[in-house]
Amino acid sequence: MDNGTLLLASLEPCWLWWLILSALAFILGAILGCLLCRNRKRLQELEEENAGLQARATNWEKDYNSLKYQHEETQKDLKTLRQKLNSCEADKAVLNTKLEKLQQQAGESDMLAAGPATVLGRGAGAGDGDSEIAYASLFPNDNLQIIEGIGPKIESTLKAAGISNWAALAASDEAKLRKILTDDNPSLRIHNPKSWPEQARLAEQGKWEELIEYQKFLDGGKEGTGSMDTDSKLEKMAMKVLGFSSNPEDLTIIEGIGPKIEQLLKNAGIDSWQALAKAPVERLRDLLQEGGANYKLAKPDTWPQQAALAAAGKWGELQELQDRLQGGIDRG
């Protein structure tokens, strides 16, 4: 065998291996290319799905904000209904008191004994049935917390000792009350019960205006330390029962204003009843318009008028106005 033949025979295996390796490289490249193509396609599909989810999330957020606003308005409507119910109760008390007076004038004592006094759930001595707020219809005679200086803890202490209503408290003296407080809890000895029997007597007799004036003269039940310029405890509790607030920065007492609108107004510097009373209606409309679509249904036409009544403490007039409102508009 010559040298040329030997050379070809020695090179033949190398050529074969090169061909095999090249084929393998080609196959691996094809496989990797296929995988990359499939991954790129899958990545595109995931990006499209993510975009769809983001769009759905945006819609959900809009729906949530809309439902939240509707919930706030529903809560406001519920508060209005409660106020109307309380107003009806107060009106009923006034009418019952007037009926009582007419029956007294007509000499119908038997009917009176079983009539209005029972309906009102209070003892003899109707008192100020024609006052702006019919307090007798708001507070039962076992509510000792209307007394300046008595809170939930002291009320439960007094009732445990047998002083369960205004009449029993009115019949107690200062020494007895101090002993009850000290025996129950030494820390209660700091409270001054001197004025409690007198307050209870005025409540029991239905002398609400006198009780209000007397409470303005008190601070924590101590005479001569109160501020005559602030609301009495009885007035504050009555406002709370009627759904009103004694906080001049609480704008939600205004019919048509919920927490969101309240915050919108406060961000614009309208942060009290006085400020809202002075705000032009057109400015209020502009603020609502700037606030977005969620506020476009609100009607601010009577807000300054309502705020003025609240700032002046004319709760009876405010309640009458709110009872007439339909969709924020005075239909009276």
Segment holding 144, helix H or strand E: none
Model confidence band, residue 280 (pLDDT cutoffs 50, 70, 90): very high
Average pLDDT over residues 199-227: 77
In the predicted structure, residue 108 carries a pLDDT above the cut 60:
no
Report pLDDT for 23: 77
Going by C-beta distance under 8 Å and a sequence separation of 6 or more, which residues neighbour residue 252? 76, 245, 258, 259, 262
Residue 78 — pLDDT band, cuts 50, 70, 90?
A: confident
pTM (predicted TM-score): 0.44
Rounded distance, CA 209 to CA 187, Å? Answer: 33
- Top CATH class of 251-330 equals mainly alpha
Of residues 92 and 40, the one with the higher pLDDT is 40
Query: Residue 88: is its pLDDT beyond 90?
Result: no
180 closest CA partner among 132, 144, 215 = 144
Mean per-residue pLDDT, 288-314: 87
Exposure pattern of 269-287 as b/e (b: 16+ CB <10 Å)?
ebebbbbbbebeeeebbeb
Q: Which residue has the tokens 């007419």?
A: 102
Residue 16 has pLDDT above 60, yes or no: yes
Domain boundaries, the chain: 78-133, 139-241, 251-330
Q: What is the pLDDT of residue 294?
A: 78
pLDDT score of 77 more than 60: yes
pLDDT in the model for residue 177: 92
